[in-house]
Amino acid sequence: MPSGAAATVNCPKCRGALTGALCNLPEPVPCPACNATILVEVFPAFFRSPVTGQTAETLIEEDAASCFYHEHKKAVTHCEACGRFLCALCDVDLGGQHLCPTCLQAGKRKGKLATFDTTRTLWDTSALVVCLAPVIIWPVVVVTAPIAITLAIVSFFKPGSIVPRTRLRALLAIALSVIELLGWYYTFFIVES
């Protein structure tokens, strides 16, 4: 949305600069340039100047704590994960949590920092799909149903979606898979014999 050196509020269609009178209105209004019906809500962050990075202070006093990574820089805080002293340069503020770059990297790698989660596998949905999809060629359910049950059980132990979600899919997958297996057994063993 910001354009050029000075940030302007632009029409979402024609990208023409809008006047203040067209912003933060309760109802949509037509853009004076392209006549598209638009709804524009601007927030104070739009006018905030970019945040500049911190600079570490050089250690002057002999007995003052120094940064673990930069011995000549003054420590301003400590890492909440490993306890190492950190200078302003090494202090990573992650949603109010102060971490050192090493712990940040380790947390990201091990998946301990939910903030860095960008994708998750939905084991319960996978179980339900594996259970339901092969029904049209249903004799194969003898193979797919155990897989679906396994996936459903895995979903109870593996981290699933980060948003609220019920266990219904997993339970449904287990129930349907068991029914499929019973149906298969009934058809191929009891009816045949």
Partner 1 sequence: MPKEAPIYHRLPGRGAGFGETSRLYLADDHLLLVTATGFTENYRRFYLRDIQAITARKTVTGAVTNGIVGFILFWMVVGLLNASSWFELFVWSAVVGFFFVLLLVNILLGPTCLCEIHTAVQSRRLGSVNRLRTARKLLARLRPVLEAAQGAVPVEELRQRVDQARQQGFVTDAPPVIR
Binding site for partner 1 (CB under 8 A): 1-9, 11-13, 17-21, 23-24, 26-28, 36-47, 50, 80-81, 95, 97, 99, 103, 107, 112-115, 117-122, 125-126, 129, 161-164
30: part of which helix (H) or strand (E)?
A: strand 29-30
Nearer to partner 1, 87 or 113 (CB): 113
Q: Residue 73 CB, nearest distance to partner 1 (Å)?
A: 23
What is the distance in angstroms between the CA of the first residue and the CA of the last residue of the chain?
A: 72
Q: Residue 59 CB, nearest distance to partner 1 (Å)?
A: 27
Q: Residue 15 CB, nearest distance to partner 1 (Å)?
A: 11
Nearer to partner 1, 58 or 117 (CB): 117
Nearer to partner 1, 12 or 139 (CB): 12
DSSP 64: S
62: part of which helix (H) or strand (E)?
A: none
Phi, psi for residue 142 in degrees, rounded to 5: -65, -25
Residues in the chain: 193
Q: Residue 70 CB, nearest distance to partner 1 (Å)?
A: 22
Dist. CA 68–CA 78, nearest whole Å: 9
Q: How far is CA 158 from CA 22, 121, 122, 124, 147, in A?
A: 49, 9, 9, 10, 16
Nearer to partner 1, 39 or 182 (CB): 39
Query: Cβ(110)–Cβ(90) under 8 Å?
Result: no
Q: Residue 50 CB, nearest distance to partner 1 (Å)?
A: 7
Q: Residue 136 CB, nearest distance to partner 1 (Å)?
A: 18
Nearer to partner 1, 3 or 54 (CB): 3
Dist. CA 49–CA 54, nearest whole Å: 15
Q: Which residue has the tokens 């009934």?
A: 186
Nearer to partner 1, 5 or 137 (CB): 5
